[in-house]
A and B are shown apart, each in its own frame.
Chain A
Amino acid sequence: MGRVITVTSGKGGVGKTTTTANLGTALAMRGARVAVVDADIGLRNLDVVMGLENRIVYDLVDVVEGRARLRQALIKDKRLPELCLLPAAQTRDKDAVNAQQMIDLTNQLRAEFDYVLIDSPAGIEAGFRNAIAGADEVIIVTTPEVSAVRDADRIVGLVEAAEKGPASLVINRIKPRLVSRGEMLSVEDVLELLAISLLGIVPEDETIVIATNRGEAAVYDPSSLAGRAYINIAQRLAGEDVPVMAIPDQQGMLDRLLGLFGRRRT
Protein backbone atom coordinates (compact mmCIF):
# COMPACT_ATOMS: atom_id res chain seq x y z
CA MET A 1 0.00 0.00 0.00
CA GLY A 2 1.38 3.37 -1.02
CA ARG A 3 1.77 6.53 1.00
CA VAL A 4 -0.54 9.43 0.28
CA ILE A 5 1.29 12.71 0.85
CA THR A 6 -0.32 16.13 0.42
CA VAL A 7 1.82 19.16 -0.41
CA THR A 8 0.15 22.30 0.88
CA SER A 9 0.74 25.87 2.09
CA GLY A 10 -1.07 28.79 3.65
CA LYS A 11 0.11 31.50 1.32
CA GLY A 12 -0.14 31.01 -2.44
CA GLY A 13 2.77 30.92 -4.84
CA VAL A 14 5.34 29.55 -2.42
CA GLY A 15 6.21 26.48 -4.51
CA LYS A 16 3.70 23.66 -3.90
CA THR A 17 3.33 22.73 -7.55
CA THR A 18 7.09 22.97 -8.16
CA THR A 19 7.68 20.78 -5.11
CA THR A 20 5.08 18.19 -6.10
CA ALA A 21 6.45 17.90 -9.66
CA ASN A 22 10.07 17.62 -8.55
CA LEU A 23 9.49 15.21 -5.69
CA GLY A 24 7.26 13.05 -7.87
CA THR A 25 9.89 12.94 -10.59
CA ALA A 26 12.75 12.32 -8.15
CA LEU A 27 10.89 9.46 -6.46
CA ALA A 28 10.06 7.90 -9.84
CA MET A 29 13.72 8.23 -10.88
CA ARG A 30 14.51 6.09 -7.83
CA GLY A 31 12.26 3.41 -9.29
CA ALA A 32 9.13 4.03 -7.23
CA ARG A 33 5.66 3.98 -8.78
CA VAL A 34 4.38 7.53 -8.33
CA ALA A 35 1.07 9.28 -9.00
CA VAL A 36 0.94 13.06 -8.76
CA VAL A 37 -2.54 14.48 -8.36
CA ASP A 38 -3.50 18.07 -9.14
CA ALA A 39 -6.13 18.92 -6.53
CA ASP A 40 -6.11 22.62 -7.35
CA ILE A 41 -9.43 22.40 -9.15
CA GLY A 42 -10.16 25.32 -11.43
CA LEU A 43 -6.50 26.37 -11.44
CA ARG A 44 -4.87 23.46 -13.25
CA ASN A 45 -1.08 23.86 -13.18
CA LEU A 46 0.79 20.66 -12.44
CA ASP A 47 0.28 19.46 -16.04
CA VAL A 48 2.12 22.43 -17.57
CA VAL A 49 4.90 22.34 -14.99
CA MET A 50 5.45 18.68 -15.93
CA GLY A 51 5.03 19.29 -19.66
CA LEU A 52 2.02 16.98 -19.98
CA GLU A 53 -0.65 19.55 -20.89
CA ASN A 54 -1.16 18.18 -24.42
CA ARG A 55 -2.09 14.72 -23.28
CA ILE A 56 -5.05 15.46 -21.06
CA VAL A 57 -8.29 13.72 -21.99
CA TYR A 58 -10.04 13.21 -18.66
CA ASP A 59 -9.50 14.88 -15.31
CA LEU A 60 -10.01 14.30 -11.61
CA VAL A 61 -13.61 15.49 -11.63
CA ASP A 62 -14.43 13.15 -14.55
CA VAL A 63 -13.15 10.25 -12.43
CA VAL A 64 -14.98 11.35 -9.31
CA GLU A 65 -18.24 11.80 -11.22
CA GLY A 66 -17.86 8.47 -12.99
CA ARG A 67 -17.40 9.72 -16.56
CA ALA A 68 -13.99 8.10 -16.76
CA ARG A 69 -12.18 5.31 -15.02
CA LEU A 70 -9.06 6.22 -13.06
CA ARG A 71 -6.90 4.29 -15.51
CA GLN A 72 -8.22 6.32 -18.44
CA ALA A 73 -7.55 9.65 -16.73
CA LEU A 74 -4.00 8.94 -15.54
CA ILE A 75 -1.39 10.39 -17.91
CA LYS A 76 1.96 8.67 -18.22
CA ASP A 77 5.04 10.85 -17.96
CA LYS A 78 7.09 11.37 -21.13
CA ARG A 79 10.28 9.86 -19.75
CA LEU A 80 9.44 7.90 -16.63
CA PRO A 81 6.93 5.09 -17.22
CA GLU A 82 6.37 4.70 -13.47
CA LEU A 83 5.25 8.33 -13.10
CA CYS A 84 1.61 9.31 -13.71
CA LEU A 85 -0.37 12.54 -13.44
CA LEU A 86 -4.02 12.90 -12.57
CA PRO A 87 -4.87 16.42 -13.81
CA ALA A 88 -7.28 18.85 -12.20
CA ALA A 89 -10.43 20.02 -13.95
CA GLN A 90 -9.89 23.46 -15.38
CA THR A 91 -13.48 24.50 -16.00
CA ARG A 92 -15.01 23.47 -12.70
CA ASP A 93 -14.83 25.11 -9.30
CA LYS A 94 -13.61 23.84 -5.98
CA ASP A 95 -17.03 22.52 -4.94
CA ALA A 96 -16.97 19.95 -7.75
CA VAL A 97 -15.52 17.37 -5.31
CA ASN A 98 -15.99 16.66 -1.63
CA ALA A 99 -13.76 15.15 1.06
CA GLN A 100 -15.30 11.68 0.88
CA GLN A 101 -14.75 11.52 -2.87
CA MET A 102 -11.10 12.47 -2.35
CA ILE A 103 -10.72 9.73 0.27
CA ASP A 104 -12.18 7.17 -2.16
CA LEU A 105 -9.92 8.39 -4.94
CA THR A 106 -6.76 8.25 -2.84
CA ASN A 107 -7.67 4.75 -1.69
CA GLN A 108 -7.85 3.61 -5.30
CA LEU A 109 -4.49 5.25 -6.06
CA ARG A 110 -2.84 3.91 -2.93
CA ALA A 111 -3.47 0.37 -4.13
CA GLU A 112 -1.52 0.90 -7.35
CA PHE A 113 1.27 3.33 -6.48
CA ASP A 114 4.07 3.53 -3.92
CA TYR A 115 3.61 7.29 -3.57
CA VAL A 116 0.58 9.46 -4.22
CA LEU A 117 1.57 13.13 -4.09
CA ILE A 118 -1.30 15.59 -3.96
CA ASP A 119 -0.74 19.20 -5.06
CA SER A 120 -3.09 21.23 -2.88
CA PRO A 121 -4.53 24.67 -3.48
CA ALA A 122 -3.26 27.37 -1.08
CA GLY A 123 -5.34 28.57 1.81
CA ILE A 124 -7.57 27.25 4.53
CA GLU A 125 -10.80 26.59 2.70
CA ALA A 126 -12.64 23.64 1.15
CA GLY A 127 -9.99 23.01 -1.49
CA PHE A 128 -7.34 22.54 1.19
CA ARG A 129 -9.61 20.33 3.29
CA ASN A 130 -10.35 18.10 0.30
CA ALA A 131 -6.66 17.88 -0.55
CA ILE A 132 -5.71 16.62 2.91
CA ALA A 133 -8.80 14.41 3.41
CA GLY A 134 -7.14 11.27 2.08
CA ALA A 135 -3.58 12.06 3.19
CA ASP A 136 -1.39 9.92 5.41
CA GLU A 137 1.20 12.68 5.66
CA VAL A 138 1.30 16.40 4.99
CA ILE A 139 4.18 18.52 3.71
CA ILE A 140 3.87 22.27 4.28
CA VAL A 141 5.80 24.50 1.92
CA THR A 142 6.79 28.01 2.93
CA THR A 143 9.25 30.68 1.92
CA PRO A 144 11.31 32.48 4.58
CA GLU A 145 9.07 35.55 4.53
CA VAL A 146 6.86 36.91 7.27
CA SER A 147 3.51 36.50 5.54
CA ALA A 148 4.29 32.99 4.27
CA VAL A 149 5.51 31.84 7.69
CA ARG A 150 2.50 33.34 9.41
CA ASP A 151 0.12 31.56 7.05
CA ALA A 152 2.12 28.33 7.37
CA ASP A 153 1.52 28.45 11.11
CA ARG A 154 -2.23 28.52 10.51
CA ILE A 155 -1.90 25.42 8.36
CA VAL A 156 0.22 23.65 11.00
CA GLY A 157 -2.68 24.14 13.41
CA LEU A 158 -5.33 23.02 10.89
CA VAL A 159 -3.36 19.91 9.95
CA GLU A 160 -3.07 19.00 13.63
CA ALA A 161 -6.77 19.65 14.17
CA ALA A 162 -7.59 17.37 11.22
CA GLU A 163 -5.42 14.67 12.86
CA LYS A 164 -3.11 14.56 9.87
CA GLY A 165 -0.12 15.87 11.81
CA PRO A 166 2.59 16.37 12.59
CA ALA A 167 3.28 17.94 9.21
CA SER A 168 6.82 18.31 7.93
CA LEU A 169 8.27 21.44 6.42
CA VAL A 170 9.95 22.41 3.15
CA ILE A 171 11.46 25.89 3.13
CA ASN A 172 11.70 27.11 -0.46
CA ARG A 173 13.41 30.03 -2.20
CA ILE A 174 16.16 30.52 0.35
CA LYS A 175 18.71 33.16 -0.62
CA PRO A 176 21.86 32.22 1.29
CA ARG A 177 23.56 35.56 0.77
CA LEU A 178 20.62 37.45 2.22
CA VAL A 179 20.48 35.04 5.14
CA SER A 180 24.15 35.51 5.90
CA ARG A 181 23.73 39.28 5.80
CA GLY A 182 20.92 38.96 8.34
CA GLU A 183 18.35 40.20 5.86
CA MET A 184 16.35 36.97 5.48
CA LEU A 185 14.95 34.59 8.08
CA SER A 186 17.27 31.61 8.43
CA VAL A 187 16.21 27.97 8.41
CA GLU A 188 16.77 27.93 12.19
CA ASP A 189 14.51 30.99 12.63
CA VAL A 190 11.66 29.42 10.66
CA LEU A 191 11.97 26.13 12.53
CA GLU A 192 11.94 27.91 15.86
CA LEU A 193 8.82 29.80 14.86
CA LEU A 194 6.84 26.91 13.40
CA ALA A 195 8.20 24.13 15.62
CA ILE A 196 7.68 21.31 13.13
CA SER A 197 10.24 18.94 11.70
CA LEU A 198 12.27 19.96 8.67
CA LEU A 199 11.99 17.74 5.60
CA GLY A 200 14.20 19.88 3.39
CA ILE A 201 15.27 23.23 2.02
CA VAL A 202 15.39 24.56 -1.54
CA PRO A 203 17.41 27.58 -2.64
CA GLU A 204 16.17 30.28 -4.96
CA ASP A 205 17.41 29.00 -8.31
CA GLU A 206 16.95 30.13 -11.92
CA THR A 207 16.94 26.48 -12.89
CA ILE A 208 13.36 26.29 -11.59
CA VAL A 209 12.25 29.02 -13.98
CA ILE A 210 14.03 27.44 -16.95
CA ALA A 211 12.87 23.91 -16.12
CA THR A 212 9.29 25.14 -15.74
CA ASN A 213 9.51 26.91 -19.11
CA ARG A 214 10.54 23.64 -20.69
CA GLY A 215 8.02 21.55 -18.80
CA GLU A 216 10.73 19.41 -17.26
CA ALA A 217 11.45 18.89 -13.60
CA ALA A 218 14.60 20.53 -12.20
CA VAL A 219 15.73 17.16 -10.81
CA TYR A 220 16.70 16.15 -14.37
CA ASP A 221 19.58 18.60 -13.90
CA PRO A 222 21.36 17.23 -10.85
CA SER A 223 24.11 19.82 -11.29
CA SER A 224 21.60 22.51 -10.33
CA LEU A 225 21.22 23.42 -6.69
CA ALA A 226 17.41 23.17 -6.77
CA GLY A 227 17.63 19.80 -8.53
CA ARG A 228 19.99 18.49 -5.88
CA ALA A 229 17.80 19.91 -3.14
CA TYR A 230 14.73 18.05 -4.42
CA ILE A 231 16.70 14.83 -4.81
CA ASN A 232 17.80 15.24 -1.19
CA ILE A 233 14.19 15.76 -0.10
CA ALA A 234 13.07 12.68 -2.04
CA GLN A 235 15.77 10.62 -0.32
CA ARG A 236 14.62 11.80 3.08
CA LEU A 237 10.97 11.20 2.19
CA ALA A 238 11.88 7.65 1.14
CA GLY A 239 13.35 7.12 4.59
CA GLU A 240 17.04 7.33 3.74
CA ASP A 241 19.11 8.54 6.63
CA VAL A 242 20.67 11.56 4.93
CA PRO A 243 21.00 15.07 6.40
CA VAL A 244 19.21 18.08 4.95
CA MET A 245 21.31 19.42 2.10
CA ALA A 246 23.51 22.38 2.96
CA ILE A 247 23.12 25.30 0.60
CA PRO A 248 26.55 26.64 -0.31
CA ASP A 249 26.96 30.21 0.73
CA GLN A 250 29.69 31.32 -1.66
CA GLN A 251 30.04 34.95 -0.80
CA GLY A 252 28.53 34.98 2.62
CA MET A 253 31.87 34.61 4.34
CA LEU A 254 33.33 37.57 2.50
CA ASP A 255 30.24 39.62 3.25
CA ARG A 256 30.55 38.82 6.88
CA LEU A 257 34.21 39.76 7.01
CA LEU A 258 33.47 43.04 5.26
CA GLY A 259 30.59 43.51 7.67
CA LEU A 260 33.03 43.02 10.50
CA PHE A 261 35.07 45.96 9.29
CA GLY A 262 31.98 48.07 9.01
CA ARG A 263 31.66 48.05 5.23
CA ARG A 264 28.56 47.30 3.25
CA ARG A 265 28.42 45.58 -0.09
CA THR A 266 25.42 46.37 -2.19
Chain B
Amino acid sequence: MSFLNGLFGRKRDSSAELAKQRLLTVLIDDRYKLTPEMMAQMKADLAEVLKRYLPAIDADQIEVTLSRGEAHDLLKADVPLRRATDQSSHR
Protein backbone atom coordinates (compact mmCIF):
# COMPACT_ATOMS: atom_id res chain seq x y z
CA MET B 1 0.00 0.00 0.00
CA SER B 2 2.71 2.46 0.93
CA PHE B 3 4.61 1.38 -2.16
CA LEU B 4 1.64 2.44 -4.28
CA ASN B 5 1.23 5.61 -2.27
CA GLY B 6 4.82 6.39 -3.07
CA LEU B 7 4.35 5.51 -6.70
CA PHE B 8 1.41 7.78 -7.21
CA GLY B 9 2.37 10.30 -4.58
CA ARG B 10 -0.03 12.26 -2.45
CA LYS B 11 -1.14 15.62 -3.63
CA ARG B 12 0.37 18.36 -1.54
CA ASP B 13 -3.01 20.01 -1.17
CA SER B 14 -4.86 16.84 -0.14
CA SER B 15 -6.76 17.13 3.12
CA ALA B 16 -4.62 14.41 4.72
CA GLU B 17 -1.43 16.32 3.92
CA LEU B 18 -3.01 19.48 5.28
CA ALA B 19 -4.06 17.64 8.45
CA LYS B 20 -0.55 16.30 8.93
CA GLN B 21 1.09 19.71 8.51
CA ARG B 22 -1.41 21.35 10.87
CA LEU B 23 -0.86 18.63 13.43
CA LEU B 24 2.91 19.01 13.23
CA THR B 25 2.52 22.66 14.19
CA VAL B 26 -0.03 21.98 16.90
CA LEU B 27 1.95 19.16 18.52
CA ILE B 28 5.11 21.26 18.65
CA ASP B 29 3.13 24.07 20.19
CA ASP B 30 1.53 21.66 22.73
CA ARG B 31 4.80 20.04 23.73
CA TYR B 32 7.23 22.93 23.58
CA LYS B 33 4.93 25.92 23.86
CA LEU B 34 6.65 27.23 20.75
CA THR B 35 4.23 29.42 18.81
CA PRO B 36 4.72 30.22 15.13
CA GLU B 37 5.67 33.77 16.16
CA MET B 38 8.38 32.49 18.51
CA MET B 39 9.59 30.17 15.77
CA ALA B 40 9.93 33.14 13.38
CA GLN B 41 11.76 35.14 16.05
CA MET B 42 14.10 32.19 16.72
CA LYS B 43 14.92 32.04 13.00
CA ALA B 44 15.72 35.74 12.92
CA ASP B 45 17.91 35.50 16.03
CA LEU B 46 19.65 32.45 14.63
CA ALA B 47 20.39 34.26 11.36
CA GLU B 48 21.79 37.23 13.23
CA VAL B 49 24.22 35.10 15.24
CA LEU B 50 25.29 32.94 12.31
CA LYS B 51 25.88 35.98 10.10
CA ARG B 52 28.57 37.18 12.44
CA TYR B 53 30.61 34.18 11.38
CA LEU B 54 29.28 33.47 7.91
CA PRO B 55 28.32 36.52 5.91
CA ALA B 56 27.22 34.27 3.03
CA ILE B 57 24.12 33.29 4.97
CA ASP B 58 20.84 34.21 3.40
CA ALA B 59 18.56 34.93 6.35
CA ASP B 60 15.33 34.44 4.37
CA GLN B 61 16.35 30.97 3.27
CA ILE B 62 16.87 29.48 6.73
CA GLU B 63 14.48 26.64 7.45
CA VAL B 64 13.93 25.56 11.01
CA THR B 65 11.93 22.39 11.60
CA LEU B 66 11.03 20.30 14.59
CA SER B 67 10.56 16.61 13.98
CA ARG B 68 9.59 13.67 16.14
CA GLY B 69 11.92 10.80 16.92
CA GLU B 70 11.61 7.59 18.96
CA ALA B 71 13.98 8.68 21.71
CA HIS B 72 13.87 12.45 21.37
CA ASP B 73 12.57 15.20 19.17
CA LEU B 74 14.89 17.06 16.85
CA LEU B 75 15.30 20.75 16.13
CA LYS B 76 16.87 21.10 12.74
CA ALA B 77 18.04 24.25 10.97
CA ASP B 78 18.88 24.18 7.29
CA VAL B 79 21.04 27.15 6.56
CA PRO B 80 21.86 27.59 2.86
CA LEU B 81 25.10 29.39 2.11
CA ARG B 82 25.56 31.46 -1.01
CA ARG B 83 28.48 30.14 -2.97
CA ALA B 84 30.87 32.85 -4.05
CA THR B 85 31.42 31.23 -7.47
CA ASP B 86 27.99 30.19 -8.63
CA GLN B 87 25.60 32.46 -6.81
CA SER B 88 24.52 34.19 -10.00
CA SER B 89 24.34 31.16 -12.28
CA HIS B 90 22.13 29.04 -9.97
CA ARG B 91 18.42 29.86 -9.70
Q: Which residues of B contact A241 (CB under 8 A)?
A: none
Contact partners of B11 in chain A: CB under 8 A: 182
Q: Which of B2, B4, B16 contacts A253 (CB 8 A)?
A: B4
B11, B22, B26 — most chain A CB neighbours (10 Å): B26
Q: Could you tell me the distance in whole angstroms from the C-beta of B5 to the nearest C-beta in chain A?
A: 7
Residues in A175-194 with C-beta less than 8 Å from chain B: 176, 179-186, 188-189, 192-194
Count, chain B residues at interface, CB 8 A: 24
Task: Tell whether A150 is near chain B: CB-to-CB under 8 Å.
Answer: yes
Separation of A186 and B16 alpha carbons in the complex (Å): 8
How many A residues, CB 8 Å from partner? 33
Residue of A nearest to B73 (CB): A195
Residue on B with the closest CB to A184?
A: B16
Decide if B31 is an interface residue (CB 8 Å cutoff).
Answer: yes
Instruction: Mark contacts of B13-56 with chain A using CB atoms, 8 A cut-off: 1 yes-contact digit, 0 otherwise.
Output: 01111011011101100110000000000000000000000000
Query: What is the total of A-B residue contacts with beta carbons within 8 Å?
Result: 68
Q: Helix, strand, loop or mixed for chain A's interface?
A: helix
With A185-B16, A249-B1: A193-B8 Cβ-Cβ less than 8 Å: no
A254 to chain B, nearest CB (A): 12
Contact of A150 among B4, B16, B30 (CB under 8 A): B30
Among candidates A157, A193, A252, A259, residue contacting B23 with C-beta atoms closer than 8 Å: A193
B44 to chain A minimum Cβ distance, whole angstroms, is 27
A193-B24 contact in complex given A153-B30, A185-B19, C-beta closer than 8 Å: yes
Residues in chain B within 8 A of chain A (CB atoms) = 1-2, 4-5, 8, 10-11, 14-17, 19-20, 22-24, 26-27, 30-31, 68-70, 73
